[in-house]
Amino acid sequence: MNQLNVSVIAGIGATLAIGLLSFLEVSMSEVALVMAPFGATTVLVFGVPDSPLAQPKNVIFGHLLTAIIGVAFTQYVGVTPLTLALATGLGVSVMLLTKTTHPPAGANPMLIMLAGQGWSFIFTPVLIGAVLIVLVGKSMHRVQKQWASAAR
């Protein structure tokens, strides 16, 4: 498959994933499903799907672990320039130690702390959003492989 086709399919996948999350968020007015780091997640999941950083384990657990850190700091430590830095550094270390590194998730502690989010944020948008992006990614990759096979 040529680079143009791969790029277009990646863009379509990102559009579908963020569109699905946005549509569901609007439909279920009380539930947040979209957050800015997911835009960067779609670059990895759809643009470089074979990268270790784009694997389901990394996407889901990278987002989940850093979100837990962000909420824990918000709830129990407080939000200051120093704690923003500490939470972000801790998130990087935890992802590396657990082999769940996903660079977009590095923004989660800052996002969560600056917005004052609570524990429910871990489930929506973080966990549900990450899982939906992974599922759309897997579906798009199957389609992409079928198209590549049919083109041969």
Per-residue pLDDT of the chain in tens (152 residues, 90 and over written 9) = 788 888 999 999 999 999 999 999 999 878 899 999 999 999 999 999 999 999 999 999 999 999 999 999 999 999 999 999 999 999 999 999 999 999 999 999 999 999 999 999 999 999 999 999 999 999 998 888 887 777 77
| Containing structural domain, residue 23 | 3-151
Q: How many domains does the chain have?
A: 1
| Residue 111 to residue 92: CA distance in whole angstroms | 15
What is the pTM for the complete model shown?
0.93
